[in-house]
Structure 1
């Protein structure tokens, strides 16, 4: 497979601020690749350098075999881009705006715009300036996807979308991948990357702290587990959950009905937790989404341990 995106020792400085610190990325053709990290991690800066909107302070970039710095006009027609901050202050209708953008982006198949609008439940006859944030985001997604580009670069693509539309967006991404397109998307939502991407890089403070297949990044994430167990003693819970290392920071409190309320942190595969809990009578169970900041700190700690070893 050939790399659609490749960066080498990519740096970007804004005065005294070192926003991107020596990032190496390789995105293969036909895959969905995620950039994940909290706000300020450097995700948007990396995407803008890939598009030629910003020049790197140092380092190399190749996008679709070309340089974004010198070949930006030619690359524009081969890329679909959704910026993180979408500014569409147009007086015209959504349909008219997309028609104008289609003249810039390249050929759009007949019925493609209307089909995307129907899937995303967007009325294209309304003036753009009257649209809500969510509907503006839908319009941005349509302009990125409509010309079936070789490469899609999407910055926080589900911002403002309701859960139903988020699901439809994930379907669009999967269809693009199945059609041989390459998708690079950034997000600060861990579950979004887990559901959409084949591989990902975790960014923090302008550096990559972990990268690889999404499944390989999952064990580093920490979930909070809350459960109500019956017909069990605190000693049995500790022996089944804490001592084998299934749950850390274990807390056990009395609950109504002679039950026990259990809380703890879980890192690993869900199968391990399910097997451990199967020994008990579980009345309630909640597993909270891993906290991204905590996950990144754990990835940092793992990296430091590997280097010291």
Structure 2
């Protein structure tokens, strides 16, 4: 179905912001409510008093919608979602239950099996989603892993298939196809970065992690059996923040993730985790807290001093 809550450019300046002010907020506004056919520009302009200068913006929006190859049912689902429910995890789940096949996890597992060239079961994905909600209270990190599990980020291969680029090769290295796994984990341009991340995870947990596609389904310590829950939780959060750091330079051909940017994100999360514990918003987990204490001890002296000045304390009680 694509992005069922897509609002074209609502938060940026330009013609799409003007469209939003005239009532063209959701994709279903671009379709005829009766026939569910895509409206031509003249009809859309008359209905919402749009300027003829906005024609090229219309072509851009039309091209975006046509990449989905929506059926009539998909357009109706878009309209129903945008007008009856809010954009929340609960509503997304309800929408999936209403409009996706009952075996949607099996379909997703099949896609991951193809990506990893190894079997992935529905139960493994179900566990991944459950863990996502139970151990990641941060809504931003939940959304990040939700998009990863659904393989929904626009990598170089997807952009090529949409006709937006001339090649599916990675814009960073140019050596292999720039699929999600390659761009996030395997590209030579991110290899030094992941080496540092995994070194830090080892220093904090005492366990060796793996920078492999299957780690995106759970955590870098997935091969350790049994793996203490607190250590797995810390490794998962460190991995997601590393992915977020990579995504911050996703579209820049020469951009590379830096250790400093990742450490800054980890340091901020360290403070939030401590505040959650001392305020009683989270159940205490000594193993998990020990990992964060080890992370703090491994920070450079200047970073430790800045944290202490800002009010951080090693006391999590």
TM-score range, shorter chain: under 0.3
Larger relative helix fraction = 2
Q: Structure 1 length normalisation: TM-score?
A: 0.25
Judging by fraction of residues, say which structure has more strand.
1
